[in-house]
Amino acid sequence: MSHAPILFSPFEINGKATAPNRILKSAMSEVLATHGVHLPTQAHTRVYARWAKGGTGILVSGNVMIDPTALGEPGNVVLEDGSDLAPFRDWADAVHEANPETLFWMQLNHPGKQSPKFLTPEPVAPSAVALGKGLETSFAVPRALEPAEIEAVIARYARSAALAKQAGFDGVQIHGAHGYLVSQFLSPHHNRREDDWGGTPQKRRRFVLEVLQAIRAEVGDAFPVSIKMNSADFQKGGFEGDEALAVIEALTAGGIDLIEISGGTYEAPAMTGARSSSSAREAYFLDFAQQARARTSVPLAVTGGFRSVAAMEGALASGALDFVGLARALVLDPEFPLNAAADAEYICDVGRPSTGIRALDRMFMIPITYYESQIRRMGQGREPDPKLSAWRTVWENVCALGAASFRKRRA
């Protein structure tokens, strides 16, 4: 398009796949799986087919867990040995039938300590360090993983990746951001081990590098493997700066195919816009991407804050990134790519949904669950509603999750 020639140009990813444009739908939790079953549903296929028809270049699924005993929240999808692959094939087929050019990648995740007590009474983590910021009341103090257990978790990542490929997905993404297990291993605050898995920056990044190597051994060299990682944790003693850039260099050497840059954890939620060093340019983490570009030739995506066509094209023209990551904007406007292609002035303002009662917003995690409600609407074949009341979100969460809706279900 003449008004955004970079945004709507194709991009070849390390000779392994070609995205039709530079718009990447970043992972958002759908919580659409039937509790206790953990398989994709018809709602998943409807939602992702809608995004594919809307013209998104790369779709990344919401976090698919690698272990049914380690869930981040109710309604998570799980893919492991023994899973019925038919619903996963249906999910991938729905995207490819809706738009054969769209790439569909599965995000793989393990929550570590970020699993609420009512789901996981004894979570695991690199070290026995509790979550803070008031979350310790709803999330149990984790048990430190034994070395053999760490190896078993790595094997689970690899096996789930192999199954995703078998089911017809076009690639996988390792969730290494937002305080989940990979992020916990990278963090000096959360990883206080003194063995081969912690104690130095090199040892803290061993886990993610071995996950990457194990996945690559299962899926082969021609299958795209990406990662979502933090630019910083935005908490005292956390992962940031030079250590984050060193991880990018190590991932590059390890053969990663794309790095999606985000930031924050649920103790310090920068990814929801709570913090932003570059809000004037919309992209929350663009400054870090500019530093990362000097350290890697791997394709980079930046997620967080983008709303306008002009800002996206400008960020891409800077050379700091190759893909624009969108989440909430694509939920409110599943046809965002088509609308952006037709209108140089197009903007999708996601706003800040609120009940007006701060404590209630916190209890129901309104900045996140509001968009889950919109995804649920699309899963039912309805249109997203930008005017949807946050109170409606509270009611729908109570109806969908029952008593569990009143329990803190995400760190």
56 vs 1, 204, 411, CA distance in Å? 15, 35, 29
**Residue 2 lies inside a defined structural domain of this protein:** no
- Token pair belonging to 53: 């028809």
Cα–Cα distance measured from residue 215 to residue 387, given in angstroms and rounded to the nearest whole number? 42
**Residue 46 lies inside a defined structural domain of this protein:** yes
pTM score: 0.93
**Residue 200 lies inside a defined structural domain of this protein:** yes
**How confident is the model at residue 404, as a pLDDT?**
54
Cα–Cα distance measured from residue 287 to residue 269, given in angstroms and rounded to the nearest whole number? 18
Cα–Cα distance measured from residue 167 to residue 189, given in angstroms and rounded to the nearest whole number? 37
Beta-carbon contacts of residue 72 (< 8 Å; ≥ 6 apart): 29, 63, 65, 109, 111, 114, 115, 180, 410
**Residue 4 lies inside a defined structural domain of this protein:** no
Number of structural domains (the chain) is 1
Phi/psi class of residue 27: alpha, beta or left (left: φ > 0; alpha: ψ in -120 to 50)? beta
**How confident is the model at residue 279, as a pLDDT?**
41
- Which helix (H) or strand (E) segment holds residue 118: the answer is none
Cα–Cα distance measured from residue 281 to residue 366, given in angstroms and rounded to the nearest whole number? 25
**How confident is the model at residue 235, as a pLDDT?**
57
Per-run averaged pLDDT (10 residues), the chain, 411 residues? 93 98 96 92 98 98 97 94 97 98 98 94 96 82 98 98 98 95 95 97 98 98 96 70 94 98 64 44 81 96 92 95 96 97 92 88 84 94 94 80 53 49
Length of the chain: 411
- Identity of the residue numbered 296: T
Cα–Cα distance measured from residue 213 to residue 225, given in angstroms and rounded to the nearest whole number? 10
Domain that holds residue 109: 11-406
**How confident is the model at residue 236, as a pLDDT?**
63
**How confident is the model at residue 274, as a pLDDT?**
45
**Residue 5 lies inside a defined structural domain of this protein:** no
Helix orientation angle between 286-293 and 241-254, rounded to the nearest 10 degrees? 50
Q: Residue 355 belongs to a domain with what CATH number?
A: 3.20.20.70
**How confident is the model at residue 132, as a pLDDT?**
81
Q: Exposed, middle or buried, 200 (CB in 10 Å: 0-12/13-18/19+)?
A: exposed
**Residue 286 lies inside a defined structural domain of this protein:** yes
The pairs formed by 372-375 with CB atoms below 8 angstroms and a separation of 24 or more are: 372/28, 372/29, 372/30, 372/31, 372/397, 373/397, 374/331, 374/332, 375/28, 375/30, 375/32, 375/47, 375/331
**How confident is the model at residue 134, as a pLDDT?**
73
**Residue 375 lies inside a defined structural domain of this protein:** yes
**Residue 411 lies inside a defined structural domain of this protein:** no
**How confident is the model at residue 119, as a pLDDT?**
92
